[in-house]
Structure 1
Amino acid sequence: MQAAISFAISLVAMSFGIAKLPLGPWERGFLALGLIFVVTSSFTLAKCVRDRQEVTEVSSRVDKARLDKLLAEHDPFETKNL
C-alpha cells in the first residue's frame, strides 16, 4: 500500500510541476511524454523482475521436489547383491 501511495504522490507531483513550469506547450508536452515513458518503463521493469523471480522460484521448487523424491526412495541399509 505504501508503494502505491508513494507512486501516486510522485506521479501527481511531477504532473503538477510540469503543468506549472514557465515553458511553452511543446516543451511541456516533451516533459509529459518523458514522464509517461518513465512510468511505463518502470511498470515493465517491475513485471520482468517479478516474472524472473517466479521462474526461479518454480524451478527451485521442482529441484527440491526431485531431491526429496530421491531422498525418500534411497534406503541406506539396502544391500545390493553383486
Structure 2
Amino acid sequence: MTKKIQPQQTAAFYVQAIASFGISVSAMTLAVAYLPAQPWVRAFLALGLLYVVTSTVVLCKVVRDRQEISEVTNRVDQARLDKLLTEHDPFKPAA
C-alpha cells in the first residue's frame, strides 16, 4: 500500500500570505478613506471592499472543504480497494 504524501506549506509562505492580505486590505482602506470624493461615495466603496473581503474568505473555505471531502472519499475508496485485493485469492477454487 502506497502512502500519499500530503503537500505542506512552509511557515514563510503562510506569513507571506497573511502579510499580503493585510497590506492589500490596509492599502485599499487608506485609499478609500483619503479618496477626494463625497462621503457617500467613500462609504459605498468601503462597503464594496468589505463585501469582496468576506466573499473571498467564504470562497477559500468552500474550496478547502470541497478538497477535504474529496480526499476523504478517495481514502475510503482506496481502503475498500485495498481490502478487496487482500481478500482476493486467485488460486482459490470457485465455490
Give the TM-score taking structure 1 as reference length: 0.95
Do structure 1's residue 42 and structure 2's residue 65 form an aligned pair?
Answer: no
Amino acid paired to 2:89: D
Percent identity over paired residues:
60
* Partners of 2:30 and 2:94 in 1: CA distance: 78
Do structure 1's residue 80 and structure 2's residue 82 form an aligned pair?
Answer: no
Structure 2 gaps of 5+ residues are 1-14
RMSD after superposition: 0.8
TM-superposed CA distance for 1:20, in Å, is 1.1
Give the TM-score taking structure 2 as reference length: 0.82
From 15, 19, 33, the counterpart of 2:47: 33
Aligned residue number for residue 29 of structure 2? 15
* Greater Rg by CA: 1
Amino acid paired to 2:29: S
Q: How many residues align?
A: 81
Secondary structure of the residue aligned to 2:36 is coil
**Shift >3 Å, 4+ stretches:** none
More helix by share: 1
